[in-house]
């Protein structure tokens, strides 16, 4: 039972990040296509979407490191969105959308992976009861 829940937590966390990174890759490709420069391709595609996909790959190999990277990226993007909103005229709706596609999914995914890693490291309650 515990393994099933852990697997679902991991799948949910990685699926969230994959969807967010695909959205950013799609957005980056369209923005870079419009801009038409090599630097535009690198900045619009590789940085947001590529970094997120790399983080997913890291989280598959090293779960805790990937989870901490996701939390750090989520904090960074959330801080950046809030800072940007404070110096410009962003509506409440715009702020909600930006946080919903940048910071919050990464924080949720990182928290899910950290929860799975911590729960997996904790002793099994059923096994502890039978040993006593």
Domain ranges of the chain: 2-131
Beta-strand ranges (E) seen in 53-103 are: none
Predicted model pTM: 0.79
Decide if 55 contacts 70 (C-beta within 8 A). yes
> Is the pLDDT higher at 12 or at 1?
12
- pLDDT over threshold 70, residue 124: no
- DSSP structure string for 20-44: HHHHHHHHHHHHHHHH-SHHHHIII
pLDDT over 90 percentage in the chain: 27
pLDDT over 70 percentage in the chain: 89
For residue 110, give the nearest of 79, 65, 80, 76 by alpha carbon: 65
Give the position of tokens 């829940």.
Answer: 5
Q: What is the mean pLDDT of residues 6-19?
A: 90
Per residue in 19-68, pLDDT (tens digit) is 988 888 888 778 777 777 777 667 766 777 788 888 888 988 998 999 99
Give the position of tokens 């923005």.
Answer: 31
């Amino acid at each position: 039972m515990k393994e099933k829940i852990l697997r679902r937590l991991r799948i949910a966390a990685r699926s969230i990040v994959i969807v967010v990174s695909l959205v950013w890759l799609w957005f980056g490709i369209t923005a870079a296509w419009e801009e038409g420069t090599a630097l535009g391709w690198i900045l619009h595609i590789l940085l947001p979407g590529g970094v997120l996909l790399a983080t997913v790959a890291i989280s598959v190999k090293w779960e805790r490191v990937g989870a901490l990277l996701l939390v750090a990226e989520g904090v960074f993007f959330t801080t950046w969105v809030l800072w940007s909103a404070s110096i410009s005229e962003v509506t409440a709706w715009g702020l909600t959308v930006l946080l919903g596609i940048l910071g919050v999914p990464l924080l949720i995914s990182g928290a899910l992976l950290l929860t799975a890693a911590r729960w997996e490291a904790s002793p099994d309650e059923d096994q502890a009861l039978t040993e006593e």
